[in-house]
Amino acid sequence: MSATLSASTLLAIPLAPLAGAILAGVFGTALGGNFFGRRWSHTLTILGVLISFVLSASVLLKVIQDGARFNETLYTWMVVGGLKMEVGFLVDGLTAMMMCVVTFVSLMVHIYTMGYMEEDDGYNRFFGYISLFTFAMLMLVMSNNLLQLFFGWEAVGLVSYLLIGFWYNKPTAVFANMKAFLVNRVGDFGFILGIGLIVAFAGTLNYTEIFGKAGDLAKLNFPGTSWMLITVICICLFIGAMGKSAQFPLHVWLPDSMEGPTPISALIHAATMVTAGIFMVARMSPLFELSDTALSFIIVIGSITALFMGFLGIIQNDIKRVVAYSTLSQLGYMTVALGVSAYSVAVFHLMTLACFESLCIVAAGSVIMGVHHNQDIRWMGGLRKYMPITWMTSLIGSLALIGTPLFSGFYSKDSIIEAVHESHLWGAGFANFAVLAGVFVTAFYSFRMYFLVFHGKERFDQNPDAHHDSHKDGHHDSHHDAHDEHADDHKPHESPWVVTMPLILLAIPSVLIGYLTINGMLFGDFFKDAIFVDAAKHPTMKELAVNFHGAMEMAVHGLTTLPFWLALAGVASSYYMYMVNPALPTAIKRIFKPIFTLLENKYYFDWFNENVLAAGARRLGALLWANDKHVIDGGAVNGSWKLVNLVSGLVRRVQTGYIYHYAFWMIAGVFVLMTYFVGYPMLNQLLIK
């Protein structure tokens, strides 16, 4: 432990946004008497997150330059037997990187919110929510034990529920937040089972102590089976990650969660909460390295998500849903990297994705504002000349997303593809196909959106349903009315500086951060003591290191590789189909109608969940209610008092008050007892003889 990292400084990092959340969320709302107005609410929350970001950056600098580390318990909550439940921090390279990602993206989102939510009645409440979310996420990534991790895990889920359903009078938003809540409960059930197994067999919640006993856990079988205990633990933990990081088949909540305001999509669904599962698996790498079965399971799940969620992005017309499926697909890439033991590559892609995917979502929000709340990309076009900053930053985000050489996404995405190629675990062959095919798919739907939005014929004045749709539920994004006042002709316009500034600041790392950090993060000692890889069993990272000769050389070589040409083919295909020959997509849709129908219905997962699982659950609930009503209430509860009433009625008949009646029953009782104790043994002896 280094003396250069103080506990008080580390404690201030999560508490600063918590203070902002309390001040804005309590005293800035009716709960606290609306003591703070809008200006004070956004000022206090932004100040809290800014303090947190500056302190996080200083911690990261000390970790890089001085090799500083911190692993201490700050508070013991309770001790049950020998099990300690504590609050503490573990700061290493992995934690420091995540702290900076969370606070930087959160700061950008806070500034962006000032513009996007300007006219919304829940302005102060929204700032309270996103600041509280930042606190919860920081507690998650900074924890040194599973109890605190689970607290942060559930806290971000709770705030996500509040943010997705922020417009609580909008039925689709209420449905979306309930869907997100229920699906995540499925994943969290698996997660807590994994934690429970660790506690049961390791007897501790502390990371260091758990990893110290990992070898012993690997020697045990799950009770009553021949399964390795470590495999069961890892799969249970990963099920938690499947829910939080929206992996197949628990992915269904994320696209619908775009019903919430755009800022939360950038904060939750691109940069922080959905990456919590990736972070958790990377943190638990000493356990996952002991089970090839669990790693293969992760590979297959990630591959399915990366490829098949990308297919769904092709047919989306809502600009936010295109980005949502893009996020799903990229989360699949990260998961595949975890499965092939390239944990550092997975969190490297997490970092780059946080920048360029947040950029894409924030740019989508800027477009929505610029075209007066229209979200349908079919009714946009030609926005480049009206929104130059949004256009340029959106292009940068798209180029990073498809893995263009020199952009940040190239270094992380290409490293994942190479890592999968070098893996020999079961499922790696399918994963290799999935991640390569995903390159073409990602490039196609990303630039389909880009071309339809910023190029071609102007169509923004041809959508008759744009304003009707935005008003029909009585709720709409914050700027609609404000912009309509200044745009009688409904011409698109560039967003205000509080929106464009985060766009520019997110665009810079989207270009540079991969080039600047790949050597240290993947092949240096940045993740020393944070990520463990058994190089003898899983030599993936060793093979990557042999083939790496520098960031610039990697970019130059990338121009000759298959992923680059697949990405180029995807861009060219989208340009031809939507700019040169726009009748072709319609013809393809008509020819492949069954496939389109399958994609349009999202592989019927929602139908299955609603008509089989949910309907089955409701029927089971009705059955249990009937059982409760007729068996428990009618039989046990009501039956008991009826029995007592019956018995008491009989007893009343016996209790006559006459002495000779009592004497008769006493004699009858003596007769019965004598018959049993004297007559029965005599009869038994006679029968034996």
Strand partners, 43: none
pTM: 0.86
**341 — phi, psi (to 5°)?**
65, 20
**What pLDDT digit, counting tens, does each position of 410-431 carry?**
999 999 999 999 988 999 999 9
For 656-689, b/e burial (b = at least 16 CB within 10 A) is eeeeeeeeeeeeeeeeeeeeeeeeeeeeeeeeee
- Alpha carbon 402 to chain centroid distance? 22
The pLDDT assigned to 471 comes to 39
The pLDDT assigned to 294 comes to 94
Report helix, strand or coil for 74: strand
User: Using an 8 Å Cβ cutoff, are 514 and 407 in contact?
Assistant: yes
DSSP-derived secondary structure letter, 36: S
Cα 98 from Cα 84, distance rounded (Å): 26
The pLDDT assigned to 498 comes to 86
Q: Where are the alpha helices (DSSP H) in 315-401?
A: 319-339, 343-370, 388-401
Question: Which residues lie below 8 Å from residue 417, measured CB to CB, with a gap of 6+?
Answer: 432, 435, 436, 439, 563
CA distances from 9 to 62, 94, 324, 527, 637 (A): 13, 18, 36, 22, 59
User: Using an 8 Å Cβ cutoff, are 420 and 428 in contact?
Assistant: yes
Cα 466 from Cα 376, distance rounded (Å): 8
The pLDDT assigned to 271 comes to 63
Residue (of 160, 210, 541, 560) closest to 346 by Cα position: 541
Q: Where are the beta strands (DSSP E) in 122-221?
A: none
- What sign for the dihedral angle of Cα 403, 405, 409, 412? positive
Cα 223 from Cα 376, distance rounded (Å): 54
Locate 689 and state its tokens. 């003889």
The pLDDT assigned to 269 comes to 65
Residue (of 141, 145, 177) closest to 160 by Cα position: 177
CA distances from 465 to 319, 380, 478 (A): 16, 13, 18
Report helix, strand or coil for 70: strand
Cα 261 from Cα 166, distance rounded (Å): 8
Q: How many helices (H) and strands (E) does the chain have?
A: 32, 2
Residue (of 495, 503, 454, 500) closest to 355 by Cα position: 503
**What pLDDT digit, counting tens, does each position of 625-639 carry?**
887 777 887 777 878
* Cβ atoms within 10 Å, residue 86: 19
**What pLDDT digit, counting tens, does each position of 378-387 carry?**
888 888 888 9
The pLDDT assigned to 490 comes to 67
Report helix, strand or coil for 83: strand
User: Using an 8 Å Cβ cutoff, are 117 and 478 in contact?
Assistant: yes
Cα 90 from Cα 278, distance rounded (Å): 17
* Cβ atoms within 10 Å, residue 229: 22
The pLDDT assigned to 484 comes to 43
**376 — phi, psi (to 5°)?**
-90, 115
The pLDDT assigned to 469 comes to 45
The pLDDT assigned to 347 comes to 93
The pLDDT assigned to 465 comes to 61
Query: Would you list the DSSP string of 215-247?
Result: HHHHTPBPTTSSSBHHHHHHHHHHHHHHHHTT-
Residues of the chain with pLDDT under 50: 1-2, 467-488
The 3-state DSSP composition of the chain as helix, strand, coil percent (nearest 5) reads 75, 5, 20
